[in-house]
A and B are shown apart, each in its own frame.
Chain A
Amino acid sequence: MSTGPGRFEQVYGQHVVGIYRFVYARVGNRPDAEDLTAQVFVRAVEQLDTAREPGQIAAWLYRVAQNAIADHWRAFYRLPVVGVDHVAPGWEPADDAPQRAATPDETASLRVQALLGGLPDRYRRVLELRFLQRMSVAETAQAMGITSGNAKVLQYRALRKAALIGEATDG
């Protein structure tokens, strides 16, 4: 028999950190990253053939992770949710998913840097203060010499602008 005891646990041990980082880079918070990571391995323990080659196992896991992330975001788009079997349009797993996941911080932060760099100064500044320095709205407003209401409007516009740039770059 190809799936001896402990084989799955070996796969788990090899990939759990990578999958978590991969998911975290796309959802940006620990509770969701943990939920989705657990989903991936719950699915894997039931469906993954651990006798496959290591490369195929990694590709399978990251494809399931990518689909789970897509389903996670569907709730935000108010789209009907489908199973993680389904690949949402525009969310086809990239061929380089496993490689990207090995260093998600690098690729993701490059993309984020490029997006921030493409923004007008005030937009970039408000996002840097809030996201990189983790300032509150009040602190951000104070640092920029504006009201809290203005800071919220500014960050809203900055993200909208960045999303537009991001869409254009994604092609």
Chain B
Amino acid sequence: MADERDPRAERFERYLDALLAGGRPSPEDVESGDEAEMARLAAEIAGAVRDDSAEPDPAFVEQLRLRMRAADAGLASVQVPPPVRDKAVEPAGHRPWRLTRRQLLQGAIGAAAGLAAGLIGVSVVPRTPADAPTLGGSDDLVAGDGFWEEVALLADLPPGTAARFSTAAFDGFIVNDAGEVRALSSVCTHMGCTLQYRPDWQDLRCPCHGASFDLAGRLANGRSTWRDNPYPGDARAYPIALPDLVRPRVKVQDGAIMVWTAQA
């Protein structure tokens, strides 16, 4: 046959080229439903060839296992509502739970941060009960062992701001959403990247694939309303549904914001 060229075939080759190189092919190189069928078939043929990538990468399996373990532990602390034991002072030498090295280290960091805050005078700002934001059921009586960990002072978190925190169970953000304080995991529920807070848009955005979560932890991309206005972050819907961000329990006590850590 003569040297025949077909723009469709040239474009579709970009899809095949990415696929056969073991990369992630783009829907951009597929233009019609027929071509989508072809793309799916090509993927199936490629997937039927026994090569290295037909088996999971052990590093991937291990990484995902650690993510799942953390999520499982995090959920346990959220789903099993914790007791409020503000007054519980354990007798010396008696501990109902064992702290891990990591928890001890983070406790030490928290203490250091509290000390630093005291030194710059933040903690002496008087706070009346009227300052306390609504927290929604933080006084529920609940079962399970755990402890509250102070992560910040309410005075340092005016409405419309957010701050990073880290406890034994969570890395996340505490946000003051118009007077309501919430704690949100900073781990994107897509691939586990660390979210970033954007004050202008009042959202948590993932640098990896662009997912945005509102301050209640729900996926926001493509949402038509956002506090009575269209969501300004991303006009396009996220291509897949993502679970909400994990939200550990939080309360404000004597002007301190505390996050709950459950002990399994």
Which residues of A have CB within 8 Å of B35? 76
- Tell me the nearest residue of chain B to A21, going by C-beta: B54
B34 at the binding interface (Cβ < 8 Å): yes
State whether A130 touches B20 (Cβ < 8 A): yes
State whether A9 touches B8 (Cβ < 8 A): no
B40 at the binding interface (Cβ < 8 Å): yes
Would you give the shortest CB distance from A16 to chain B, in whole angstroms?
A: 6
Interface flags, B163-189, vs A, CB<8A=1, else 0: 000000000000000000000000001
- Tell me the nearest residue of chain B to A156, going by C-beta: B9
Which residues of A have CB within 8 Å of B65? 9, 12-13, 16
Would you give the shortest CB distance from A128 to chain B, in whole angstroms?
A: 10
B111 at the binding interface (Cβ < 8 Å): no
State whether B20 touches A131 (Cβ < 8 A): yes
Which residues of B have CB within 8 Å of A159? 12, 38, 41-42
Which residues of B have CB within 8 Å of A109? 48
Q: Bound complex: CA of A112 vs CA of B78, how far in Å?
A: 46
A171 at the binding interface (Cβ < 8 Å): no
State whether B20 touches A166 (Cβ < 8 A): no
Given contacts A153-B5, A153-B6, contact A38 B47 (CB under 8 A): no
Q: Bound complex: CA of A41 vs CA of B38, how far in Å?
A: 29
- Tell me the nearest residue of chain A to B189, going by C-beta: A42
Which residues of A have CB within 8 Å of B115? none
Q: How many residues of B contact A (CB 8 A)?
A: 67
Given contacts A41-B64, A42-B71, contact A26 B9 (CB under 8 A): no
Within 8 A of A (CB), among B232-264: 237-241, 243, 264
A54 at the binding interface (Cβ < 8 Å): no
Given contacts A43-B243, A84-B240, A84-B241, contact A152 B56 (CB under 8 A): no
Given contacts A9-B72, A76-B36, A152-B6, contact A112 B48 (CB under 8 A): yes
Q: Bound complex: CA of A130 vs CA of B13, how far in Å?
A: 11
A37 at the binding interface (Cβ < 8 Å): yes
State whether A150 touches B1 (Cβ < 8 A): yes
- Indicate which residue in A43, A108, A132, A134 contacts B44 across the interface (CB closer than 8 Å): A108
B68 at the binding interface (Cβ < 8 Å): yes
Q: Interface stretch among B22-30, B96-104, B223-231?
A: B22-30
- Other than the known A20-B61, A156-B12, what 13 A-B pairs have Cβ atoms closer than 8 Å? A12-B65, A20-B55, A24-B47, A25-B48, A31-B24, A71-B240, A109-B48, A115-B41, A134-B20, A137-B13, A149-B3, A150-B1, A152-B12
12 cross-chain CB contacts under 8 A: A12-B65, A28-B42, A28-B43, A31-B23, A42-B190, A45-B71, A71-B240, A71-B241, A109-B48, A149-B4, A149-B9, A156-B8
